[in-house]
Structure 1
């Protein structure tokens, strides 16, 4: 289980990431662009992925990572269940979402462990 505090800590560890309000949830942005939102009451994160990355992450287990069930999901927005997602996968999801919206110079600072 990923706690709200753990999610925030990981998201805000990315270069120049900031937290902001987003309707009744929290958003995490870089360069004024949202890469993730956090719905603490539903223990769910929503992340901006490319269609290819969405397919890759959702192939793992659609009860853990799954497309938002509407037009936003078709644009790459993807839910992650914080009760069941492993921390290593969440880190990869956040890094992938961050790199999808960050300026290249910042995105290049984020690497994945081999």
Structure 2
């Protein structure tokens, strides 16, 4: 399973990613765009995915990977329980979220 330090190291390994406070969480940004956040208290990461990718990852196990339960989830924001996810799967989700953001495929109000 993944831990907070592994998540931070992974997120910051992507080019031009910076960490900064975002309300009560830490946001991981590429330039000005947030592609992931971390809630250390709850040990939950949140990624911005396309709706298609969100459905693929959530199909794996929706008790570990699941959409945010509001309008943000309908825009692709997807929660990941770090206490339950394998590091390899976490790397896959982070890679997809980062790449979608830098390629401009993951827009805040765009539905796939």
Match of 1:64 in 2: 64
Measured after TM superposition, the shift of residue 103 of structure 1 is: 4.7
Using structure 2 for the length normalisation, give the TM-score. 0.90
Match of 2:108 in 1: none
Q: For residues 65 and 54 of structure 1, what CA distance do their matches in structure 2 show?
A: 9
Match of 1:26 in 2: 26
How many aligned positions are there? 104
Match of 1:4 in 2: 4
Using structure 1 for the length normalisation, give the TM-score. 0.88
Root-mean-square deviation (CA, aligned residues, Å) is 1.0
What are the residue-to-residue correspondences of 1:1-114 with 2, within 5 Å? Answer: 1-103=1-103
Q: Cα deviation per residue 1:81-107 (whole Å; 9 max; x = unaligned)?
A: 000011011001111111121157xxx
Query: Which stretch of structure 1 is more off in the superposition, 94-103 or 58-67?
Result: 94-103
Q: For residues 59 and 27 of structure 2, what CA distance do their matches in structure 1 show?
A: 25
Runs of 4+ in structure 1 off by over 4 angstroms are none
Give the SS at the match of 1:26.
strand
Unaligned runs of 5+ in 2: 105-112
Give the SS at the match of 1:2.
coil
